[in-house]
Amino acid sequence: MKGIFTILEAALIAAGLAGAHAAQGREAGGTNPPNVIIILADDLGWGDLGCYGHPSIHTPNLDRMAAQGMRFTDFYSAGEVCTPSRAALLTGRYPIRSGMCDDKYRVLRANAAGGLPAQEVTIAQALKRSGYATACIGKWHLGNYVNDPAHSPRRHGFDYYFGLPHSNDMNPTPAAPRNATQRLDQRAEWWAAPLFRNEQLIEEPADQTTLTRRYTGEAVKFIHEHRGGPFFLYLAHTFPHVPLFASDKFKGQSRRGLYGDVVEEIDWSTGEVLEALRREGLDGNTLVFFTSDNGPWLTQNEAGGSAGPLREGKGSTWEGGMREPGIARWPGRVPAGVVTHELACTMDLFTTSLKLAGAKVPEDRIIDGVDLAPVLFGLGPSQREVFFYYRGTRLYAARKGPYKAHWITRSAYGPDSPVVHDPPLLFNLGHDAGERFDVAALHPDVVADLAAEVQRHLATVKPAKNQLEETVRGEAARKYSRD
């Protein structure tokens, strides 16, 4: 793609004209600045949507969204599992910088004492300071505010919250059988997930068959109430994370079985959100971005998704663990029907959202996200040249251009130990998306360049206090005694 731009154009973008284009974006639709909606699926794989080639999951709304906007083939989450991925998306920083990653527990447990540190700046906080109304609807998983009120989404820039504080498999009841998460004959009595509105517990156990529908209703209501804008809506679905539950309307509908039912309900939900924008006359002034927090949970068997041609899934630094569907839509601003192969990631949504809002990108800390405006508005190549793949606190791999080097590999959830590679494994992802053919011996110069990128990056990393290890103690721990 870079070939179609002249050196002069690339230089102009590097000189900051991308910012000017972003400013123009703020005026589109006659209102200023634009609304931003991020829709985040949980554990949805790169290959799980019709527009990404899935043969039996029917996703007409997301396919239409891609046709009306831009579909990314090389879009990444910056974490291989839920908690680090969400921390990175909302802060624009690799999770190692906020302490929101861990090599043993990997995600925040229900009884975790830690959470997203107060000094981190989220998209919601930055946009709220610029006059945005903000809502988080769905899964949080950046700290359990029952354990510590400081971890409420409303302490991190969100005016309104409706959803579960963590994953929907984290409150199994004694009735849950072994491997209950994999079961396709799910029963409500196996799970006791708590549903909150702001800090108030409104339902426990939450009726998980209604969650996608209720999240959607909340999202549509928020859009209506804030149609005068600007607003930031973070709609973080609970599914298709296991255990899988679909509403009666979708259950048994998909040729892909229960997993397909669940994804098709999320597709329906996206259609409802886009229809709400149309109805409120907000199409021309709203950026909507759809993606997933990590790859498919392959060890869940039929209850897990698909990474398509990519290797491995959730929990790993192979492509299937972190490369995600990425669909952007903003009629009149994002060109329609474009498939881009530019390199981009969830952290870039932080910087892009702040720039579109005219908010100041924090300068007192390292921000890893770049402004995607040149890519989104069809003006030039991505400013992202390199992407680093972390598993927990350790950097396992790095990508630059089509090449990806692995210094460490390990199966996503197996009992195997990490394998260190010296020299690293090297794959050309353009030729070999499935990472099967090591070409390190043919490209020592590429290996050396990637190694230098990693050294430069690691020199900027000062690990923060680990937020995932500590659990609540004493009286507060009693409610977790059944865990």
Catalytic residue ranges: 82, 141
Of 102 and 342, CB closest to Mg ion = 102
Phi, psi of 188 (to 5 degrees): -60, -35
Of 313 and 331, CB closest to Mg ion = 313
Of 293 and 324, CB closest to Mg ion = 293
Q: Radius of gyration (Cα) for the chain, nearest Å?
A: 21
Does residue 43 bind Mg ion (CB under 5 A)?
A: yes
Q: CB nearest Mg ion: which residue?
A: 82
Strand partners, 183: none
Of 264 and 293, CB closest to Mg ion = 293
Among positions 294, 340, 352, 353, the unique one binding Mg ion when judged by CB under 5 A: 294
354: its two tokens: 């702040």
Stretch that binds Mg ion, among 15-23, 34-42, 189-197, 299-307 (CB under 5 A): 34-42
Of 82 and 87, CB closest to Mg ion = 82
Residue 336 Cβ vs Mg ion, minimum distance, rounded to whole Å: 30
119, 156 contact by CB (below 8 A): no
Residue 71 Cβ vs Mg ion, minimum distance, rounded to whole Å: 21
Of 36 and 82, CB closest to Mg ion = 82
- Which residues, including other chains, have CB under 8 Å from residue 294's CB and lie 6 or more apart? 43, 77, 79, 80, 81, 82, 85, 314, 315, 321, 322, 324
Start-to-end CA span in the chain (Å): 51
Q: In the window 64-83, what residues touch Mg ion (CB under 5 A)? A: 82
Binding mask 325-354 for Mg ion (x = CB under 5 A): ------------------------------
User: How many other CB atoms are there within 10 angstroms of residue 202's CB atom?
Assistant: 11
User: How many other CB atoms are there within 10 angstroms of residue 110's CB atom?
Assistant: 19
Residue 180 Cβ vs Mg ion, minimum distance, rounded to whole Å: 18
Of 294 and 340, CB closest to Mg ion = 294
Residue 106 Cβ vs Mg ion, minimum distance, rounded to whole Å: 11
Residue 313 Cβ vs Mg ion, minimum distance, rounded to whole Å: 11
C-alpha span between 139 and 143 (Å, rounded): 11
Angstrom CA distances, 139 to 39, 273, 385, 461, stand at 11, 17, 31, 28
C-alpha span between 368 and 351 (Å, rounded): 9
Stretch that binds Mg ion, among 38-46, 66-74, 422-430, 441-449 (CB under 5 A): 38-46
Of 114 and 315, CB closest to Mg ion = 315
For residue 221, give the H/E element and its range: helix 211-225
Residue 293 Cβ vs Mg ion, minimum distance, rounded to whole Å: 4
Computed from CA positions of residues 253, 194, 188, 104, in that sequence, does the dihedral angle turn out positive or negative? positive
Does residue 298 bind Mg ion (CB under 5 A)?
A: no
Q: Which of 356, 453, 422 is nearest to 25 (CA)?
A: 356
98, 84 contact by CB (below 8 A): no
C-alpha span between 235 and 219 (Å, rounded): 7
Residue 337 Cβ vs Mg ion, minimum distance, rounded to whole Å: 29
Stretch that binds Mg ion, among 42-50, 171-179, 212-220, 263-271 (CB under 5 A): 42-50
**Given the DSSP bridges, would you call strands 419-428 and 403-409 parallel, antiparallel or unpaired?**
antiparallel
Residue 57 Cβ vs Mg ion, minimum distance, rounded to whole Å: 18
Phi, psi of 205 (to 5 degrees): -75, 145
Binding mask 116-155 for Mg ion (x = CB under 5 A): ----------------------------------------
Q: In the window 368-387, what residues touch Mg ion (CB under 5 A)? A: none
124, 158 contact by CB (below 8 A): yes
User: How many other CB atoms are there within 10 angstroms of residue 440's CB atom?
Assistant: 17
Of 76 and 427, CB closest to Mg ion = 76
For residue 88, give the H/E element and its range: helix 82-91
What is the residue type of 154? Answer: R
Q: Which of 114, 123, 140, 178 is nearest to 42 (CA)?
A: 140
C-alpha span between 208 and 193 (Å, rounded): 8
Does residue 42 bind Mg ion (CB under 5 A)?
A: yes
Residue 83 Cβ vs Mg ion, minimum distance, rounded to whole Å: 9
Name the site residues for Mg ion (rule: CB under 5 A): 42-43, 82, 293-294
